[in-house]
Chain A
């Protein structure tokens, strides 16, 4: 099974609570591009994007449950894989 390079994206509300999440995504996904819109942040990445709990916690200063993402989630594209530590978007099929 090969992995596609088609873009995946995640869109979050642009507020104080998502600042550390966006920061963590920037740090963990070097190929990701962040687009700022009024009240929304849309992050595109080729084929794969991961949100790591640990990276968010480092920036947030408190324990973080990845499901808290859902509070500010606007939209996403890609096949979603959720564990306690990583929230991953990718296209698995070619």
Chain B
């Protein structure tokens, strides 16, 4: 049985904005498309930036990478402000329930003293690493070209603050809200010998001026090592010794990293596929920063996991190599 529906329908003259229709045709566009494509100004600027008068405020020359269309760097998660805040709000609700559970059951507070100190030494200082990542992603957003890239970079920069806050909350779960763990973790970050190599590389990354190099160094290489090393390898190592209490609060970090990796991989893969020159540039950056960060993480891997540390770091580095191959780079 077919139903015939008689309707008087008024078709709109235009289904979307002109600049979107020129890209995708005159059909209804998604909110991500309308909130991203060709949003950044490209012409008619009033003055050169005082802080860089040789270039424009938005200038493709700030990176050595070249793209015919910078909007090819589409975010596969399709995050624009609306969908991003809704997604993060949902995740925050789930996270708060996890934290409440951990708090009620004293999952971290009731751990033996040595384990609590290990968490303050190994995990809580990473809140400073997250602050560094926020700084680097802000640079990508500031000096990158095109809303597709800069929007996602800025949303990611906000995420890093969220991760830093989460690590702080872990510290507070350990020290029963006294805040001692935060002061202690900062001391480790600033003064403990095992942390200085990582801190040095983070601070070196601050002087990178090429926004794509910053993206590769921070989001692909550094995060691609730090997250699996601490939130999977170290998490499993601790679980074997102290049960899965810690895992309940580290789950959030791993989930976020997996979601963000989809964006990072899509952007890097597209840049690398664009031209052999791009590929060579990105490969050079990957090689340089991979050497730097694997070296910097070695003392921390050993300090946190003893004789299992080196193997854990090697496993994480191998996995990064496999990921790089999928992006069109050398392992």
Contacts and interface: CB of A to CB of B under 8 A. Distances in A.
Nearest to B3: A75
Interface in A1-21: 7, 16, 19-20
Q: Could you tell me the dominant secondary structure of chain B's interface residues?
A: loop
Nearest to A60: B78
A16 B30 contact: yes
Contact of B76 (A19, A36, A61): A61
A37 B9 contact: yes
A30 interface: no
Nearest to A62: B77
B5 A37 contact: yes
Nearest to A20: B30
Nearest to A44: B2
Contacts of B28: 16, 19
A19 B32 CA distance: 12
A64 B329 CA distance: 31
Nearest to B27: A19
B291 interface: no
B7 A61 contact: no
Interface in B1-41: 1-2, 5, 7, 9-10, 28, 30-32
Interface string B30-58: 11100000000000000000000000000
Contacts of B5: 37, 42
Interface string A16-55: 1001100000000000000011100010000000000000
A37 B78 contact: no
A7 B4 CA distance: 14
A61 B9 contact: no
B87 interface: yes
A61 B31 contact: no
Contacts of A36: 9
A16 B15 CA distance: 13
Given A16-B30, A19-B30, A7 B2 contact: yes
6 contacts: A7-B2, A16-B31, A37-B5, A38-B9, A42-B5, A61-B78
